[in-house]
Copies of this chain bind each other. A is one copy, B any other.
Amino acid sequence: MINQKQIKSLHQKKYREHYNLFIIEGVRSFISAVEANAKIKLIFYTIEFSKKNPWLKKKLYQIPNKIVSIEEIKKLSPVKSPSGILAICEIPEFNLLDKKKNLIYLDSLSDPGNLGTIIRTATWFGVSQIGYSKKSIDPFNPKVVRSAMGSHFNLSWLGELSLNDIKEYEIIGADHRGKSLEEVQPFNNKWALVMGNESHGISDNIKKAIKHLVSIPKIGEGESLNVGVSMGILLHELTK
């Protein structure tokens, strides 16, 4: 059995890697994990949660579980108002990167909410491979997991990649100085869509490798769109 201190340590990447475990918080993420047959090691839940969610009982047979107070969940949860269920889960094993399938590539993405939204949006549009640069936020950070709402389990591949690993792809990069997607489509090969850092955009060394810089036409005002919104619009166009 994992102890409280070990669970708390899963807020840090090095301990997630050490134990090969991560924290899932919230109903939707938990249900997705169960549906995906994820290796759930431990469930914490409150009495109030189990009363409101009678389906939970059926899930508890084969998995170690413990009734705790909402205060105990708060200590472990990435959010201020947790829903009353929290699970510890093995980091899933993915297949090898399949270069016959499109890819999202994240260059130094830093905000956990954005990464969660990106995973959720990518899987909605059927893009199930996400690579990220060394400096990007870890996808198993509890806040990322929370905001992805279970969509980690819909990915076929997720992992760190270098520029060299994606060179066979038709590399598209989102940048406000880019062309509209319509001008550069169609593509001959499978594409990798690069999304850059929230403040600094795509880094210079990656920009050099990009074949098509694309942007979303601005009709009104503003400096930029949120990175998750931009990617959503680009994927909507790319997968039409």
A interface list, Cβ under 8 A from B = 28, 113, 117, 120-128, 149-151, 154, 216, 218-223, 225-226, 228-230, 232-233, 236, 239
Contact = CB atoms under 8 A, between A and B. Distances in A.
A21 to B, nearest CB: 24
The CB with the most chain B CB atoms within 10 A, among A120, A126, A222, is that of: A222
Contacts of A121: 225-226, 229
A109 to B, nearest CB: 15
Between A121, A123, A125, A229, the greatest number of chain B beta carbons within 10 A of the residue's beta carbon is seen for: A229
B232 A149 contact: no
A179 to B, nearest CB: 16
A222 B120 contact: yes
A222 B151 contact: yes
Nearest to A124: B222
A218 B222 CA distance: 29
Nearest to A127: B220
Contacts of A123: 220-222
A154 B219 CA distance: 12
Given A228-B229, A232-B229, A236-B233, A223 B125 contact: no
